[in-house]
Amino acid sequence: MSQFSKLLLKLLLGKSDVNFSFGEVRNLLLRLDFDERIKGRHHIFFRKDVDEIINIQARPSETISGKTNQKLDCEVWIRR
């Protein structure tokens, strides 16, 4: 099973949504042929055959022991 397939399956199962980085979600949407528009920190994804618009925004992870974790996670909004 490819890395892409594993990531897609993990996302679709919905059991570990908080364990995705911004880059993983962005790359997944691009591989699924979504178009991307960037406005500030917001990355907006859309496709002609999908009614919903997906908006993801990168944000730094919470600090642990006073040190900032450099891995980015993201917030995801889906609107109709």
Left (φ > 0), alpha (ψ -120 to 50) or beta: where does 41 sit? Answer: alpha
More confident residue, 27 or 68: 27
Residue 42: pLDDT band (50, 70, 90) is confident
* 63 has pLDDT over 70: no
Q: What is the mean pLDDT of the chain?
A: 77
Least Cα distance to 25 among 77, 80, 76, 79 occurs for 76
Query: Could you tell me if 75 and 56 are in contact, meaning their C-beta atoms sit under 8 angstroms apart?
Result: yes
More confident residue, 26 or 41: 26
